Amino acid sequence: MKIVSIWLAATLPLVASPAHADSAAPLPQFEVDAFWPKPLPNKWILGQVSGIATDRYDRIWVVHRPASLTPRERAAEQNPPEAKCCVAAPPVLVFDQSGNLLRHWGGPGAGFQWPQGEHGIFIDDNDFVWLAGNGKSDGQLLKFTVDGKFVLQIGKQGEGNDSNSTVRLGSPADVAVDVAAKEVFAADGYANRRVAVFDSETGNYKRHWGAYGKPPSDERTPPYDPAKPPSQQFGNPVHCIRIDKDGLVYVCDRTNNRLQMFRKDGTFVAEQRRQRVARARSTTSFSHPTGIKNSST
């Protein structure tokens, strides 16, 4: 599979800790392809790109935030138009490997609550598209067909965070799906501090856990300090989640500069901590599973 080399400055540049630097495998190197994707139709432009994924057909899925574009950037949408360009593209776009636009959809609709702040996209092996949202009121996951037909909403929008809630999430950042077990895993999130698991067919709550597989807490934790023992709780945001071929669940604890690995039942396996380096001096970066991320996300 050809790797699409779109890469922006990573949200959190990381390098291996000195104790493991000599034995660490070289990190992947990326290059910006300024001509990918190909120009969009209808005077469309993208806002903050907050998620990218590939499906089993090697198509590239992008979710962006139309609301992040300013009125000046959307001048062609005004009535009457204030300029020839531009118009916000639909939130979800699908491209082939060459950057040709294949389909597009998304935005508010009947029967579901579209995210206040789009964040994260995942296409499962049954060809369903999952979306998360990190807006302050977002507490839901959404499931669609590849053509954008609504299938399922898990959770609901609302106020407040509760990392032990069974009915809503807290600004979830990312999604992963185990199609064999019919389970959807959420990195939950920008308000909550946990992994939450639901039935991917019915939306019923199944289980959740925090850092080290312990019950999560919403009590304030001290700022990250590499000289102190690692936090026993996830920070905000719990930023990504992926399941590997061996069934291990990888969770990004961005604030605390670490990855934690679990079995799918929440049993803690291991963690890998990293050291923060100055952004301007960094020559390598941590490869984020969900792809390109705008630095404001």
What are the tokens at 132? 């998360």
Token pair 């792809």: residue: 291
Across 56-65, 86-95, 160-169, 271-280, least confident range? 271-280
Q: What distance in Å separates the CA atoms of residue 272 and residue 14, rounded to the nearest whole number?
A: 12
The alpha carbon of residue 292 and the mean position of all alpha carbons in its chain are separated, in whole angstroms, by: 10
Task: Region of 42 please: left (phi>0), alpha (psi -120 to 50) or beta.
Answer: left
For residue 8, the model assigns a pLDDT of: 32
For residue 276, the model assigns a pLDDT of: 59
pLDDT tens digits, one per residue of 123-171: 999 999 999 999 999 999 999 999 999 999 999 999 889 999 999 999 9
For residue 275, the model assigns a pLDDT of: 67
Token pair 């599979």: residue: 1
pLDDT tens digits, one per residue of 196-219: 999 999 999 999 999 999 999 999
For residue 274, the model assigns a pLDDT of: 79
Contact 127, 55 (CB under 8 A): yes
Angle at 184 between CA 179 and CA 188, to 5 degrees: 155
- 296: pLDDT confidence band, cut at 50, 70 and 90? very low
**Dihedral pair phi/psi, residue 281, rounded to 5°:** -100, -5
In sequence order, what DSSP letters do the residues of 190-215 get, joined into one string? SSS-EEEEEETTT--EEEEE-GGGPP
Q: Is 260 helix (H, G, I), strand (E, B) or coil?
A: strand
**What average pLDDT does the chain have?**
87
The residues, any chain, with a CB within 8 Å of residue 20's CB and separated by 6 or more, are none
- 280: pLDDT confidence band, cut at 50, 70 and 90? very low
Q: What distance in Å separates the CA atoms of residue 174 and residue 1, rounded to the nearest whole number?
A: 24
Q: What distance in Å separates the CA atoms of residue 161 and residue 233, rounded to the nearest whole number?
A: 15
The alpha carbon of residue 259 and the mean position of all alpha carbons in its chain are separated, in whole angstroms, by: 15
Is residue 278 over pLDDT 80? no
- 193: pLDDT confidence band, cut at 50, 70 and 90? very high
Q: What distance in Å separates the CA atoms of residue 52 and residue 68, rounded to the nearest whole number?
A: 17
Q: What distance in Å separates the CA atoms of residue 240 and residue 171, rounded to the nearest whole number?
A: 12
Q: What distance in Å separates the CA atoms of residue 68 and residue 105, rounded to the nearest whole number?
A: 17
* Helices and strands in the chain, H and E counts: 0, 20
- 1: pLDDT confidence band, cut at 50, 70 and 90? very low
Residue 51 burial by Cβ neighbours in a 10 Å radius (0-12, 13-18, 19+): buried
For residue 130, the model assigns a pLDDT of: 98
Q: What distance in Å separates the CA atoms of residue 213 and residue 224, rounded to the nearest whole number?
A: 20
